[in-house]
């Protein structure tokens, strides 16, 4: 019965016009600025070595690691696949700068779990299905109910040191450069 319900749910999701292959970004930009304290939050995450969901809390990394918060519109879309594949490919460079990359979307945790494994990603994926954190960070596209593509680099003190928005965030070189500057 569960498999049947899951099949119907996945079929309905796939047929939904709300998830086009090319997700339109809104013209809104985050109200957060470089130099602001990154709002703390807690979200369910996936893509751990043991495959079990976990609770991610930003403040757990204060004083320990820089964090890239890579908000993206939707799993299984072209731009998001390009962006997150680049984070996977450059994972070692982020590690060298004492930086943890986390990907955040409004997708269900099960969707993110499946997609992260399909992409062979090597960093956590967080689900903000309730859309509270995307709204808190000012990146929620209210019309579509998805995150606008935005990457925030947060240093070990919790301060935002870099923000890259829209299509520019598909190219992760800005986030990597900001993390490299924090290393020195």
Across 52-145, the runs of DSSP E, i.e. the strands, are 54-57, 66-71, 99-105, 125-127, 140-141
CA distance 128 to 146: 9
User: Is 179 labeled as catalytic in the residue annotation?
Assistant: no
CA distance 110 to 115: 9
Cα distances from 91 to residues 118, 124, 173, in angstroms, run 17, 12, 12
Please, what's the b/e burial string for 114-147 (b: 16 or more CB within 10 A of its CB; e: otherwise)?
Answer: bbbeebebbbbbbbbeeeebbeebebbbeebebb
DSSP annotation of 59: G
CA distance 99 to 176: 9
Catalytic choice (80, 133, 144, 153): 80
Catalytic center residues: 80
């Amino acid at each position: 019965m569960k498999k049947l319900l899951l099949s119907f749910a996945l079929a309905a999701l796939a047929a939904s016009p709300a998830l086009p292959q090319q997700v339109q970004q809104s013209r809104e930009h985050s109200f957060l600025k470089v130099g602001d304290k990154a709002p703390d939050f807690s979200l369910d995450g996936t893509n751990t070595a043991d495959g079990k969901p976990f609770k991610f809390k930003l403040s757990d990394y204060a004083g320990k690691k820089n964090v890239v918060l890579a908000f993206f519109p939707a799993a299984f879309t072209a731009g998001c696949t390009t962006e997150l594949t680049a984070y996977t490919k450059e994972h070692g460079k982020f590690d060298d700068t004492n930086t943890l990359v986390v990907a955040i979307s409004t997708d269900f945790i099960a969707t993110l779990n499946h997609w992260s494994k399909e992409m062979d990603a090597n960093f956590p994926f967080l689900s903000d299905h309730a859309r509270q954190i995307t709204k808190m960070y000012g990146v929620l596209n209210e019309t579509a109910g998805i995150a606008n593509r935005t990457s925030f680099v947060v240093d070990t003190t919790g301060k935002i040191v870099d923000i890259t928005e829209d299509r520019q965030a598909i190219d992760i070189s800005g986030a990597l450069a900001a993390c490299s500057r924090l290393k020195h």
